[in-house]
Homo-oligomer: A and B are copies of this chain.
Amino acid sequence: MATQRLNIENIRPEVRDAQYAVRGELATRAEEYRERLEKGDKSLPFDKVIFANIGNPQQLDQKPITFFRQVLSLLEYPALLEKEDVLKSAFGYKQDVLDRARTLLKGVQSIGAYSHSQGAPLIRDSVAKFIEERDGFPTDPKNLYLTGGASSGVSTLLDVICADATSGVLVPIPQYPLYTATLSLLNAHCVPYYLEESKAWGTDVHAIRHSVLEAKRHHIDVRAIVVINPGNPTGASLSPDDIKDVINLALEENLVIIADEVYQTNIFMGEFTSFKKRLSQLQQEFPGKYDGVELASLHSVSKGMVGECGHRGGYFELVNFDPEVEAQIYKLQSIQLCPSVIGQCLVELMVNPPKEGEPSYELYSQEYNGIKDGLKQRAFALYEAFHKRMAGVECQKPEGAMYLFPTITLPPKAIWAADRADKRPDEFYCLALLDATGICVVPGSGFGQKEGTLHFRTTFLAPGTDWVDRIIKFHEEFMEKYK
């Protein structure tokens, strides 16, 4: 018998100890402000809350891509397909929208039915084709697992990989806190490796080796390495050489590579190279040598120009995994039955959008490029603001993803004030920013940062640039107050 009711002391300690800042105190307070404003509260010094704390494009008025949503509307109510002419004339649905909806319905039968736990076969075929075309190497749909966003894929993979309390996983710092939180839940070690801020937040393989050695000294069995490329929160994009270095390290150390590639289309400089492509190239170049390198790469409908976070769609691909281990991953996925089927269909649409010459192509590419250009413009506008117009703030040039992660240098008085308020300095700064402007960002401590440095992460999703001016004004006043 349980000796007492559930309380904070007797629940699973791994749950209690897990940290997840993205939706922590700041987010909660921002939501309270939003509700107050909605109810007509005029006492706040701003009239709108800007959620720059989370990569949630459609909350910030990014419009969904028409082709995707037209198809999904037909999947929800297939009876619409009975009057093609009306759909076309009254609502502008094109023939390829109707065709795609029919194909998907044939593949999943009804989006209200459970699919295969790994994802509907037809959809995995499309994803395989997409990866083949992106990378120029074959992909077997049997190695693909559709998921409810990338987060649930990460959780599944780490659950299998982390055997026990001696297991460790290399995680970049700063990182997206899903990784540390999930490792906490599994009672496994996060083995941090620091990204080089001075080298545009690049991945330094020497730093990783150092972390591996440190972990070994502590008898940690390092089993995998997480790479987020393009980076969250850093916005860095890895070169083919950087990727090769990580693959070589994984080969030497028998590490599973977990490549979080959800920002693969959010690239502003250069070109995205996938881990799958680089690994396949190396396998081709050095036959046999790399066949033991295990790679799991993840993608999602939440980011990129799709921005469909609420639909919870994603997938991961397994490369060079032992089939017996794959069977365990399948079993684990099957316990949760299947990911949302409409989310799966959206994955299909993302990887197989209208092609040139098809009826929906023009509008699709116009919308897609419009979003991409807007993101790039705002990324650089924000970068310029941080870089040039704010004293004590430095920022790396944005290469990819949806975030900037500037360093802030705060005066001692501000640090003392934070201490008196029982807050970390970066948290104190971000709370003050929220209170003054309604702009919600996340303190660097939520992602990890080198001892003695302070940062915050902001998305550049919010439309317009007047909010950037509000940050600048707040920063001036804050620095003045605590100088």
Contact = CB atoms under 8 A, between A and B. Distances in A.
Contact of A113 (B56, B252, B331): B56
A421 interface: no
B310 A338 contact: yes
A325 interface: yes
B23 A334 contact: yes
B164 A12 contact: yes
Nearest to A345: B310
A328 B77 contact: no
A195 B23 CA distance: 42
A148 B340 contact: yes
A340 to B, nearest CB: 4
Nearest to A31: B116
A256 interface: yes
A113 B12 contact: no
Nearest to A213: B1
A310 B253 contact: no
B114 A309 contact: yes
Contact of A6 (B10, B216, B294): B294
Contacts of A309: 112-114, 337
B310 A111 contact: yes
B58 A112 contact: yes
A328 B3 contact: no
A182 B64 CA distance: 36
A91 B20 CA distance: 46
B322 A155 contact: no
A12 B331 CA distance: 13
Q: Which bucket holds chain A's interface residue count?
A: 35 or more
Interface in A154-191: 155, 159-164, 178, 181-182, 185-186
A15 B108 contact: no
A221 B340 contact: no
A56 B223 CA distance: 38
A86 B90 contact: yes
A133 B69 CA distance: 35
A72 interface: yes
A152 interface: yes
A70 interface: yes
B116 A91 contact: no
A163 B110 CA distance: 40
A5 interface: yes
Contacts of A155: 336
Looking at A66, A112, A149, A334, the one whose CB has the most chain B CB atoms below 10 A away is A112
A311 B254 contact: no
Contacts of A332: 15, 18, 185
B77 A2 contact: no
Nearest to A322: B7
Contacts of A57: 112-113
A310 B5 contact: no
Contacts of A74: 73
B16 A328 contact: yes
A279 to B, nearest CB: 14
A10 B8 CA distance: 33
26 contacts: A2-B221, A2-B253, A3-B221, A3-B254, A5-B292, A6-B294, A6-B322, A12-B159, A12-B164, A12-B186, A13-B164, A15-B160, A18-B331, A23-B337, A54-B114, A57-B113, A59-B109, A59-B110, A112-B310, A114-B309, A148-B312, A151-B337, A309-B337, A312-B312, A312-B337, A342-B342
Given A7-B325, A112-B311, 11 more contacts: A1-B216, A2-B253, A6-B325, A15-B331, A59-B110, A76-B76, A83-B90, A111-B311, A148-B148, A148-B336, A312-B338
